[in-house]
Amino acid sequence: MSTAPGPAAARGLRALRAGLVSLLIAAAVSGAAAAGTAGDAGSPGSAGAPVAAAAAGAAGAPAQRTLDNGLRIAVFPDPHLAMVQVQLLVPAGVAAEPAGEEGVAYITAELLRHGTTSRDPRAFAQELALLGGKLTSSVGRDYATVNGLFLSGDFEGGLELLSDAVIYPIFDPVELRRVQGQALRQLAQLEQSPGLVADDQIWRLAFDGHPYGRPASGSFGPVSELDAGRVREFWSDRYRPDHAVLAIAGDVTPERAIAVADEWFGRWSGKGAEPPAHVRAPAADHVRIRIVDRPGSRAELRLGALAPAGGTPDETALLAAGMLYGGAPADRPGGERSVFGRELRTAYTALADAGLFIVAASAPSDSAGAAVSIMLGDLRALGRPPGEAELASVKRLLKNTFPMSFETLAARTASWLAADFRGSGMEFFDRYAGRVDSLAPAGLARAAQRWLDPSRVVLVAVGPAAALKSQLEKFGKVELARSDTALAQATNRRGEAGPHAAPTLAQRARGRALVAKMLAAHGGLAKLRSIKDTRVEAIAIIDVNGHKLEGSLVQARREPDHMVYITDFGGLATRQTLIGNTGWQLASGDSEAKPADQETVGALKSGFGSDLHHLLLAASDPRARVWARGTETIDTLAALAVVVEPPGQAPRTYYLHPKTYRLLGFDQGDSRSGALARRKFSDFQTVGGILWPYHEQRLLNGETVMQVDVRSVRFNTGVPDAAFEMPASGTTH
């Protein structure tokens, strides 16, 4: 299916094939995202991972071979779906990072897909797209993985691409700056979520001084200071065959898989640096409390206790303890229950050197002390033997859910790799049921007493320090800490404004000057202000889990804040209408129109202001905060970045052509979810004296979700009131 008007037939056939392949891949990788983070959540010691790992054992031991260069290969043949999943594990996770270089593991893994010695970034992406495959990387605390998923018929080509990325990366400085910029913005967005800050801080506090305390995605200062030479040095030390393992699962025979792996990875050479010496996790002898000051009416609370590494005798007991925590019903995994009207959760992550048992809760800031008392009391209760019937229910749940997350090829390879990395291999799978059966009430209580002692836990609270400190001091000594937001608000050491830096006067002046040039390039402010309504008709292609679907789109806007948004994809038509602070919607199959809820109204308002007309007007508003933020590479072009923050709205980053000053696109982040939305504009045509983009690409976290090809744009046609009226009950519109 074509992605632009009038493509060559061959291009259309290739795109159609890629779309169909993507549909198959979507089915194959459903739910595999967690398994892909194999260094942490995908390890068999985490609360859900043994489920996936067990089924790998049930499928039988893999066929294994070690190449001459030391690379170990494990193959799990499975002909049920014509796909092949590949995961390459290298000991290049957070634990391998030198002190003070947090984030080098993440940046290195990300850059592997940004160009090789034989393919520039665009060529690499195009070849992958023509295969219809997926190629991703993941970094955990123990190790990193490079992951590929391909049709079985494209296995050779897919494995060649993956090997090229791993063996011959170029680490281009321009691509490095782009990846750094994306990483810094994501860190800034994550810092705006109190819950994510609490998750980060509990690991930092529990593993103070241990590599596991470092965040997988790095920290602002170290990430901004990385250069291509340092990234290449880390890759040279860690991405070597003698410490790597390649797991292959799917519709491929062991003979074929090993032969193809030998062909493409047999050329990999060199000896990797020895894995870092094991560092003993810090053992606490008292309660440690850290408060991260944030305004708000609620506090995010995290309770942490150091736990054993994966594969140790107490691992299964602590998994059961997580289900029993708080007296939750045995059919509710993870010990979920409610405290102060919010869910209370537990998680146990077991890694190669140590583990962490976490209890997470949210409470009103003036009730944080009472919530912590409940959390500690429930932890203390685990030290008493549970009833036989209660434990029997948990054991049944542990065994019955064992294969549930082993529904994808990615889960199989990730789980086996995690077990293999920590030395337990197939033994972990084969003996799981026996370990669950052997759990006894007294033994579970002893394990809880040994690891979950309330007098030796760490506690993190993110919320208003003035309200929290007096409540939490009774549990132990309190320390106040700043999160990485403080670094984000400073100018980074490369001389560019950080994601939340206070702009200088020169940056503000430069930003206003660039906005003036942008307005002139698109026809001038006077013409833009003369627009009272617009009507845009377009063909759109959406990407739903990799499946491309073509449809039509109509948008009609009228000042102020009136919009009709009509889409039709595959016969599913929807109509959403904005009328000031209210709205309504109607979809195929609905008997009548329904008022829009406030969330939908908010989304429609955001959409009303995201066309070119309103983007340019927002940048021209004298009340908006505007500043220049340097340059960023957009499709190989060094675009001029300008931040625009209209009154009462979230900031957007505009990207301008360095010579013509046309608006090439913009970014907008969602601080609640950490998602980064980008729109890119091209194919500009003049309409009524205004330069308008006739092609638009919409991306979320770097993945294309929609492409829009405009068929017509009209201004000031007089959109009538009737276009916005909600139809009466029982009538059609």
Any idea how long the chain is?
Answer: 733
For residue 552, give the CATH number of its domain: 2.50.20.10
The pLDDT-based confidence of 16 (bands split at 50, 70, 90) is very low
- Tell whether 445 is covered by a domain: yes
d(CA 49, CA 357): 15
Under the banding of pLDDT at 50, 70 and 90, the label for residue 18 is: very low
| Dihedral sign (CA 500, 506, 508, 514) | negative
Is the same domain home to 513 and 551? Answer: yes
Kindly report, residue by residue over 445-467, the tens digit of the pLDDT: 999 999 999 999 999 999 999 99
Q: Where would I find the beta strands (DSSP E) of 313-366?
A: 337-339, 342-350, 355-364
The overall longest dimension of the chain from CA atoms, in Å, is 81
Is 131 found in the same domain as 222? yes
User: Is residue 79 located within the same domain as residue 227?
Assistant: yes
Cα–Cα dist 663/684, whole Å: 10
User: How many folded domains does the chain comprise?
Assistant: 3
Same domain membership, residue 539 and residue 458 = no
Q: Within 13 Å, how many C-alpha atoms sit on residue 356's CB side?
A: 27
Same domain membership, residue 214 and residue 145: yes
In this structure, the answer to whether residues 305 and 243 fall within a common structural domain is no
Q: Are residues 347 and 454 in the same domain?
A: yes
If pLDDT is split at 50, 70 and 90, which confidence band does 50 have?
very low
Residue 413 lies in a domain: no
Helices 121-131 and 9-29: angle between axes, nearest 10 degrees: 70
498: in domain: no
Please tell me whether residues 125 and 245 are part of one structural domain: yes
Contact 555, 611 (CB under 8 A): yes
Q: Is the pLDDT of residue 663 over 90?
A: yes
**pLDDT reported for residue 327:** 61
- Does 281 map to a domain? no
Query: 195, 463 in Cβ contact below 8 A?
Result: no
DSSP 2-28: -SSSS--HHHHHHHHHHHHHHHHHHHH
468 and 519 share a domain?
no
Let me know whether 144 and 95 are in one domain: yes
In a domain, 164, yes or no: yes
Using a 10 angstrom Cβ sphere, with 0-12 exposed, 13-18 middle and 19 or more buried, the burial of residue 147 is buried
| CATH code of the domain in which 358 resides | 3.30.830.10
Task: Note down the domain range covering 389.
Answer: 288-406+431-481
Of 623, 617, 611, 615, nearest to 694 by C-alpha is 611
* 20/434 Cα distance (integer angstroms): 43
Residue 41 lies in a domain: yes
For the segment 709-713, the average pLDDT, to the nearest whole number, is 93
Task: Find the helix or strand (DSSP H, E) in which 516 lies.
Answer: helix 505-521
Residue 411 lies in a domain: no
**556-564: average pLDDT:** 91
The reported pLDDT for the residue numbered 337 is 54
**Average pLDDT value over all residues in the chain:** 81
- What's the pLDDT tens digit per position in 666-708? 988 643 334 578 899 999 999 999 999 999 998 877 778 889 9
Distance CA 722, CA 170 (A): 58
Q: Give the range with max mean pLDDT: 162-171, 393-402, 703-712.
A: 162-171
Structural domain contains residue 438: yes
Q: Are 517 and 388 in a shared domain?
A: no
Contact 189, 498 (CB under 8 A): no
